[in-house]
Amino acid sequence: MSGNRFTRRGLLKTGATLGVGLAAPSFFVRGAHAYVNEPTGSTVTLGFNVPQTGPYADEGADQLRAYQLAVKHLNGEGDGGMLNTFSSKALQGNGILGKKVAYVTGDTQTKSDAARASAKAMIEKDRAVMITGGSSSGVAVAVQGLCQEAGVIFMAGLTHSNDTTGKDRKKNGFRHFFNAYMSGAALAPVLKDAYGSDRRAYHLTADYTWGWTQEESIAASTEAIGWETVQKVRTPLGAGDFSQYITPVLNSGADVLILNHYGKDMVNSLTQAVQFGLRDKQVNGKTFEIVVPLYSELMAQGAGENVKGIYGSANWDWKLPDEATQAFTKSFGQEYGSPPSQAAQTGYVQAILYADAVERAGTFNPCEVIAALEDYEFDGLGNGPTLYRGADHQCFKKVLVVKGADNPTNQYDLLEVVSEVPVEDVTYASDHPMFAGGELGSCNPGA
């Protein structure tokens, strides 16, 4: 695979190399197999496809650590983590359906083509029955489409674009992470209380599917509380230097900068905005403010003191007091010496939810696994009671509003949770205009 840093770790099973295309691969349909990559030996292989290089590499590294921890727990190693708190008791720590869990890994490079290439290799060469990962919605959408064509399950990792479970939704794909609409719905009331209803907002937006839908969602929610959107400017993913985009903000008449950036891009753009003195300005008789709608502890570590007092939203936080969060944070900390990020938590949970669905279905056949996941209600995985909605394969759970801590107690305590927004406040109809244009279609078992 030219240009793709594909690596293999753990217990591996290598199948025959396939020809070009995924429509009817010969060895998938040979013999009595009812679905693609039906496990026949004592192990079953999962594919972990994360950005190990590129602007989202920090998130990808933490996600991969969580996937590896999930494999240990599924195989009965370690302390069991959230298997002990999960409301379902189908998993017994003896693998999945008695088969030891193996895995392969790939580097998406935060590029859709590289991500598809590594996922394709996992399916064709290593006979992976499920692909998971992400950290870029562009990557997630691309790999979800590939998995639909190939006939395997895709359990999306960190992907926040509305499109993943909107216009690009697929029957074989599932998302646990929250989305841009939910961020807007959760953030707007908090921003109104903090900054008032008379504000003028300037958006800098990553120029791909996630940035577009977050910009749309945040603009709609802030305009609904009375804010005016002054300008929307798109920036390339991985730009590094954002100074040329920040300079025009100074003379725009805006008094809020909304950074629709993530990973190293957010670290760089926020740092440069502070260096340009935006937070020290008075505009329209108000103190200039910055909002980062999608936050993470990893980004806060990168941006340091620049995050103090800045609001955003999050899928999960390691400091939540529930039993499941504490169990996962303990396991992850013992394994790696630091608390887990939201990227790690959503990846771990997706791996566990897939394994649990297989166990409950009694088969790896993707069509029956899909049926086990659709409209599945569960608890004990760190987000409170959660529904995997069948209409669009989106998880519905509470959303966190967070802000940069003014007085962090340590290097990991950089965000404080200011609101746990109940699920009913972030729920929408599956045909909501921001999610329209897509259909799940039919299950593809690949054979």
Give the range of the structural domain holding residue 238, as residue numbers without chain letter.
181-314
Q: How many helices (H) and strands (E) does the chain have?
A: 12, 18
Average pLDDT estimate for 381-408 = 96
Is there a single domain that holds both residue 221 and residue 168? no
Q: How far apart are CA 378 and CA 353, in angstroms?
A: 9
Q: How far apart are CA 18 and CA 50, in angstroms?
A: 23
Within a domain: residue 25?
A: no
Mean pLDDT of the chain, nearest integer: 90
Contact 173, 94 (CB under 8 A): no
What are the tokens at 16?
């025959």
Is there a single domain that holds both residue 302 and residue 348? no
Within a domain: residue 424?
A: no
Contact 329, 348 (CB under 8 A): no
Place 432 in a pLDDT band, splitting at 50, 70 and 90. Answer: very high
Strand partners, 202: 231, 257
- Amino acid code (one letter) for 55: P
Could you give the C-alpha distances from 69 to 99, 187, 328, 445, in angstroms and in order?
17, 32, 10, 28
Is there a single domain that holds both residue 113 and residue 64? yes
Q: How far apart are CA 435 and CA 428, in angstroms?
A: 9
Place 10 in a pLDDT band, splitting at 50, 70 and 90. Answer: very low
Within a domain: residue 53?
A: yes
The answer on pLDDT for 13 being more than 60 is no
Could you give the C-alpha distances from 168 to 85, 144, 156, 158, 433, in angstroms and in order?
33, 8, 13, 16, 14
Is there a single domain that holds both residue 190 and residue 308? yes
Q: Which residue has the tokens 């919605």?
A: 137
Q: How far apart are CA 217 and CA 56, in angstroms?
A: 22
The answer on pLDDT for 361 being more than 50 is yes
Where among 297, 314, 331 does a domain terminate?
A: 314
Is there a single domain that holds both residue 196 and residue 263? yes
Within a domain: residue 412?
A: no
Is there a single domain that holds both residue 237 and residue 296? yes
Place 239 in a pLDDT band, splitting at 50, 70 and 90. Answer: confident
Where among 397, 418, 441 does a domain terminate?
A: 397
Within a domain: residue 8?
A: no
Q: Is pLDDT larger for residue 26 or for residue 222?
A: 222
Where among 281, 314, 347 does a domain terminate?
A: 314
Place 262 in a pLDDT band, splitting at 50, 70 and 90. Answer: confident
- DSSP 8-class letter at 237: T
Is there a single domain that holds both residue 135 and residue 110? yes
pLDDT tens-digit map of 52-95: 888 778 888 999 999 999 999 999 999 999 999 999 999 999 99
Is there a single domain that holds both residue 322 and residue 310? no
Q: Specify the number of domains making up the chain.
A: 2
pLDDT at residue 4 in the model: 34
Within a domain: residue 207?
A: yes
Furthest-apart CA atoms within the chain: distance in Å: 74
Domain with 250 in it: what CATH number?
3.40.50.2300
Place 32 in a pLDDT band, splitting at 50, 70 and 90. Answer: low
The CA angle 88-383-170, to the nearest 5 degrees, is: 80
Listing from the earlier edge strand, what are the strands of the sheet with 228-235? Answer: 228-235, 200-206, 256-260, 289-294, 311-314, 399-404, 415-421
pLDDT at residue 29 in the model: 38
Q: Which residue has the tokens 């999050």?
A: 314
Within a domain: residue 336?
A: yes
Any idea of the CA torsion for 80, 81, 86, 92, to the nearest 10 degrees?
-10
Is there a single domain that holds both residue 353 and residue 295? no
- DSSP 8-class letter at 321: -
Q: How far apart are CA 429 and CA 407, in angstroms?
A: 40
Could you give the C-alpha distances from 146 to 109, 140, 185, in angstroms and in order?
17, 10, 31
Place 33 in a pLDDT band, splitting at 50, 70 and 90. Answer: low
Is there a single domain that holds both residue 55 and residue 120? yes
Q: How far apart are CA 311 and CA 321, in angstroms?
A: 21
Within a domain: residue 191?
A: yes
- Rounded to two decimals, what is the model's pTM? 0.90
Any idea of the CA torsion for 373, 379, 384, 389, to the nearest 10 degrees?
20
- DSSP 8-class letter at 131: E
Strand partners, 155: 132, 174
Is there a single domain that holds both residue 158 and residue 280? no
Is there a single domain that holds both residue 96 and residue 118? yes
Q: Could you give the residue ranges of the DSSP H alpha helices within 256-322? A: 263-275, 297-303
